[in-house]
Amino acid sequence: MRVQVPLSAQNRVKMHNLDNKLSGHLAYIIGVAIGDGNLSNPTGRSVRLRISCNTEYQEIIKEISSSLKIILPKNKVSYIKRKCKCLDISSYSKNWEKWLGWKFDKGPKHKQNINIPEWIKIDPKYSKSCLKGLFQTDGSIYHDRGYIMANFVTTIPKLADEIVEMIKRLGFRPKLYTLSARDKMRHRKYTIRISIDAANFIKAIGFRKDKKII
């Protein structure tokens, strides 16, 4: 006799085989990778995740590196300095495609219509970790008429909708704005803005973009 597992129970099964502590770090890295990461397979054996970061954000670089080392303690984390104050942080693993949910050889993230894994969306603590990574890469903090604001921008409509729902589940009220592309070569942009209670949202996810140059 076949037993039907309820959908809610299926959704709660983590497919990455990591314990709860490591899952938080993976959720953070997934957010960072969605923002400023890409996959490749230069050796033909193992997939490389490469994350680009401005060298002005030393604390973020340390946090990304630390999370990668915790997730994959036996794997090397490499650094390559680029022009224009850019640093590439990379790590190889056969698990990256499974963990992230997209392929190295199927085109850019926009084309693959990437999304956030279900296990992250349904758990507030993992949602916060992922949102932290997302906002650290493709987000910003600014002041408008004396009020603090938090913004996130993407060109992937499905991803924008998922992020809005994650933020709502945490008890905040984001607004989604759509900016049409000016020409056919560009993609439509989706801006998620938190203006009400933004300071508490920033605190809740641990979002910071302090510039600490070494």
Q: What is the pLDDT of residue 184?
A: 58
Q: What distances in angstroms separate CA 148 from CA 15, 84, 173, 193, one per listed residue?
A: 37, 29, 14, 11
Tens of pLDDT, residues 3-60: 333 444 344 445 566 777 799 999 999 999 999 999 999 988 899 999 999 999 999 9
Strand, coil or helix: what is 128? helix
Q: What percent of the chain stands above pLDDT 70?
A: 86
pLDDT value of position 181: 62
CA distance 17 to 19: 7
Which residues are 77's β-sheet partners? 91
Is 9 or 88 the better-scoring residue by pLDDT?
Answer: 88
Please give the model's pTM, rounded to 2 decimal places: 0.88
Q: How many alpha carbons lie under 13 Å from residue 100 in its C-beta half-sphere?
A: 28
Q: Which domains does the chain possess?
A: 19-205 (3.10.28.10)
